[in-house]
């Protein structure tokens, strides 16, 4: 009888409670309407079958032998696969120079870098770690990449700490960092000023989330600048002999100090003595590709132009950076209330593209669009109203500006998909309906990496065929297999 009475009261409230709610003490109280509840029962519009969707995404990167001519797969991929990286002008050779650089780096015994900038979705080396593992499996390379001397957040890919006379400065500031009056933040958007003695300790990752290649470290580098004369650096790893480097003269430009080790090491310590700006410490391995993870919590990606361009250009030159990935857009959404606001944000991003072309003229640019995000509207979780428009506008503008684009939003399943990522077992996104879990980030990172590598597969196939014949076949409207 009690439960029946409660249900009766709820039914009554359904019918009489005002749809616009009731204002009480400055707070608007709402009650679900019977129309919406009946609609929920009647409209079992399918929630996304997330497992099937993710499986379909992964299969879209695989060439099935039964489907006919090999070229048909690549033609369909570069022209109509929704999970592909979209290329300016549909130019399937866009990434060819990048892949050639990756190949030559391994052959020449050097390291070529990829820098992955993004917001808090990248924290703890999420998403970047999958890209790193996939690229290193194909092109060689190992290690977690470049890290700041003073890291604000832990990472699943390396353990580090620093002590001594180091002051931290960050472009996107936190409670422990300061703003730099010189704006010499460097490629990691943060740096440390050394004024005396300091020690940087690192240890190979041993947690279950650390991928295989990231554990192998045999090449350690320090990217520094603006040093006083007599700067001393020494490296001690495991049981290896201490390696020491002294920079006798004062230098204002960027310097890269590298130690190559005979074996992979599990831990090490870099000791500093003197005065300098430390822009980053690269923990790499065998020749090939290194991927640097640069997470900028709360950033919308429109502030790189405030970094000293000379330091950035010299840093990218010294480190051999050939791909810059920008993964932003989510943090811009709360401030976007109109299409005009979208246009203003796009104009700011275009300035960042111009800046990166100036400081890294040899690098390709890839923009990774924002993920689906949910907000509460009248008690229901829905996609942010202008997010689909922002995603489409970003894609159009990036391609017009010669920047490749990967559509995270639609890869997830489009509007409303974030709810399904949260409800999935195990969860692929957190209860804030904004951030991916570690598993979800792995899904996104894996798809991003595979979408890139299909273009390398096509490049390798084209190297065995006459280029004119390939171009003619791809440009034909008829997709019937030969």
The DSSP code sequence of 251-295 is: EEEEEEEEEE-SS--SEEEEEEEEEEEEEEEEEE-SSEEEEEEEE
Task: Write down the pTM of the prediction.
Answer: 0.90
Whether residues 384 and 299 fall in one domain: yes
Domain boundary among 270, 286, 302: 286
- Nearest Cα to Cα of residue 133 among 122, 123, 143, 119: 143
Q: pLDDT category, 35, cuts 50, 70, 90?
A: low
Q: Give the residue ranges of DSSP H helices in 60-179.
A: 70-80, 96-108, 128-139
Q: pLDDT category, 282, cuts 50, 70, 90?
A: very high
Whether residues 389 and 376 fall in one domain: yes
Whether residues 164 and 178 fall in one domain: yes
Q: pLDDT category, 12, cuts 50, 70, 90?
A: confident
SS3 content of the chain, % helix, strand, coil (to 5): 40, 25, 35
Q: At which residue do the structure tokens 């791909």 appear? A: 323
CA distances from residue 106 to 95, 139, 211, 354, 360 in whole angstroms, order as listed: 17, 7, 20, 30, 21
Taking 70 as the threshold, does the pLDDT of residue 331 lie above it? yes
Taking 80 as the threshold, does the pLDDT of residue 333 lie above it? yes
Whether residues 204 and 237 fall in one domain: yes
Write the pLDDT tens digit of every residue in 77-125.
999 999 999 999 999 999 999 999 999 999 999 999 999 999 999 999 9
Q: Residue 22's pLDDT is what?
A: 76
CB 147 within 8 A of CB 180: no
Taking 50 as the threshold, does the pLDDT of residue 42 lie above it? no
Whether residues 274 and 185 fall in one domain: yes
CB 148 within 8 A of CB 280: yes
Q: Residue 31's pLDDT is what?
A: 66
157 versus 152: the higher-pLDDT residue is 157
The angle, 0 to 180 degrees and rounded to 10, between the axes of the packed helices 70-80 and 467-475 is: 60
Whether residues 437 and 368 fall in one domain: yes
- Nearest Cα to Cα of residue 197 among 112, 269, 101, 114: 269
Q: Residue 50's pLDDT is what?
A: 95
Tokens of 326: 């920008």
Q: pLDDT category, 263, cuts 50, 70, 90?
A: very high
480 versus 469: the higher-pLDDT residue is 469
Whether residues 147 and 264 fall in one domain: yes
Whether residues 291 and 279 fall in one domain: no
Tokens of 339: 């299409």
CB 322 within 8 A of CB 362: yes
Percent of the chain, pLDDT > 70? Answer: 93
**Tell me, what CATH number does 118's domain have?**
3.40.50.1110
Q: Residue 304's pLDDT is what?
A: 97
Q: Residue 28's pLDDT is what?
A: 73
Whether residues 228 and 326 fall in one domain: no
Q: Give the residue ranges of DSSP H helices in 320-379.
A: 339-359
Instruction: Tell me which residue range forms the domain holding 206.
Output: 142-286
Instruction: Determine, yes or no, domain membership for 102.
Output: yes
Instruction: Determine, yes or no, domain membership for 45.
Output: no
Whether residues 111 and 147 fall in one domain: no
Whether residues 132 and 204 fall in one domain: no
- Please enumerate in sequence order all residues whose Cβ is within 8 A of that of 467, keeping only pairs 6 or more positions apart, or say none: none
**Tell me, what CATH number does 177's domain have?**
2.60.120.1360
Q: Which of helix, strand or coil describes residue 223? A: strand
Taking 60 as the threshold, does the pLDDT of residue 38 lie above it? no
Q: What is the mean pLDDT of the segment spanning 46-66?
A: 85
Q: What is the mean pLDDT of the segment spanning 33-55?
A: 66
- Number of structural domains the chain divides into: 2
HSE-CB for 87 with a 13 A CA cutoff: 19
Instruction: Determine, yes or no, domain membership for 235.
Output: yes
Instruction: Determine, yes or no, domain membership for 369.
Output: yes
Average pLDDT across the chain, whole number: 92
Taking 80 as the threshold, does the pLDDT of residue 25 lie above it? no
Whether residues 152 and 188 fall in one domain: yes
Domain boundary among 257, 286, 315: 286
Instruction: Determine, yes or no, domain membership for 32.
Output: no
Q: Which of helix, strand or coil describes residue 17? A: coil
Q: What is the mean pLDDT of the segment spanning 166-170?
A: 95
Cβ-based burial of 95 (10 A; exposed 0-12, middle 13-18, buried ≥19):
buried
Instruction: Determine, yes or no, domain membership for 38.
Output: no
Percent of the chain, pLDDT > 90? Answer: 81
Instruction: Determine, yes or no, domain membership for 10.
Output: no
Q: What is the mean pLDDT of the segment spanning 278-286?
A: 97
Domain boundary among 262, 286, 310: 286
Write the pLDDT tens digit of every residue in 352-364.
999 999 999 999 9
The rounded distance, in Å, linking the Cα atoms of 102 and 453 is: 12
Q: pLDDT category, 480, cuts 50, 70, 90?
A: very low
Range 158-162, long-range pairs (CB < 8 A, 24+ positions): 158/202, 158/203, 158/204, 158/205, 158/214, 158/283, 159/202, 159/203, 159/204, 159/205, 160/200, 160/201, 160/202, 160/203, 161/200, 161/201, 162/192, 162/198, 162/199, 162/200, 162/201
Q: What is the mean pLDDT of the segment spanning 187-215?
A: 96
CB 391 within 8 A of CB 346: no
Instruction: Determine, yes or no, domain membership for 377.
Output: yes
């Amino acid at each position: 009888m009690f439960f029946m009475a409660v249900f009766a009261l709820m039914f009554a409230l359904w019918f009489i409670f005002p749809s616009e709610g009731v204002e009480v003490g400055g707070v608007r109280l709402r009650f679900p309407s019977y129309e919406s509840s009946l609609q929920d029962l009647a409209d079992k519009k399918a929630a996304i079958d997330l497992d099937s969707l993710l499986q379909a995404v992964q299969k879209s990167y695989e060439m099935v032998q039964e489907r006919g001519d090999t070229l048909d797969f690549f033609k369909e991929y570069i022209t109509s696969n929704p999970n592909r990286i979209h290329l300016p002008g549909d130019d399937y050779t866009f990434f060819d120079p990048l892949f050639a650089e990756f190949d030559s780096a391994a052959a020449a015994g050097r390291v070529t870098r990829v820098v992955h900038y993004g917001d808090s979705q990248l924290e703890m080396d999420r998403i970047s770690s999958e890209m790193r593992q996939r690229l290193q499996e194909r092109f060689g390379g190992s290690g977690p990449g470049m890290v700041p001397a003073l890291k604000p957040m832990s990472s699943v890919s390396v353990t580090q700490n620093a002590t001594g006379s180091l002051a931290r400065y960050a472009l996107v500031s936190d409670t422990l960092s300061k703003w730099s009056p010189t704006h010499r933040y460097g490629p990691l958007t943060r740096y440390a000023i050394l004024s005396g003695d300091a020690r940087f300790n690192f240890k190979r990752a041993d947690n279950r989330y650390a991928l295989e290649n990231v554990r192998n470290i045999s090449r350690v580098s320090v990217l520094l600048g603006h040093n006083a004369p007599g700067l001393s650096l020494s490296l001690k790893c495991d049981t290896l002999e201490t390696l020491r480097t002294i920079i006798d003269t004062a230098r204002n430009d960027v310097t890269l100090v590298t130690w190559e080790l005979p074996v992979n090491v599990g831990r090490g310590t870099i000791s500093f003595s003197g005065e300098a700006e430390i822009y980053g410490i690269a923990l790499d391995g065998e020749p090939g590709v290194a991927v640097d993870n640069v997470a900028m919590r709360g950033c919308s990606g429109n502030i790189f132009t405030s970094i000293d361009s000379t330091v950035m250009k010299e840093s990218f030159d010294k480190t051999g950076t050939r791909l810059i990935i920008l993964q932003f857009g989510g943090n811009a959404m709360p401030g976007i209330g109109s299409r005009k606001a979208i246009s203003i944000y796009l104009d700011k991003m275009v300035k960042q593209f111009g800046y990166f072309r100036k400081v890294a003229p040899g690098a390709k640019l890839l923009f990774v669009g924002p993920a689906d995000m949910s907000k509460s509207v009248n008690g229901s979780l829905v996609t942010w109203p202008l997010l689909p428009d922002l995603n489409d506008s970003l894609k159009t503008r990036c391609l017009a500006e010669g920047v490749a684009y990967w559509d995270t939003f639609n890869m997830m399943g489009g509007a409303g998909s974030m709810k399904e990522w949260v409800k999935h077992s195990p969860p692929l996104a957190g209860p804030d309906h904004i951030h991916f879990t570690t598993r979800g980030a792995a899904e996104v990172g894996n798809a991003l990496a595979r979408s890139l590598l299909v273009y390398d597969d096509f490049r390798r196939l084209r190297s065995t065929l006459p280029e004119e014949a390939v171009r003619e076949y791809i440009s034909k409207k008829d997709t019937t297999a030969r």
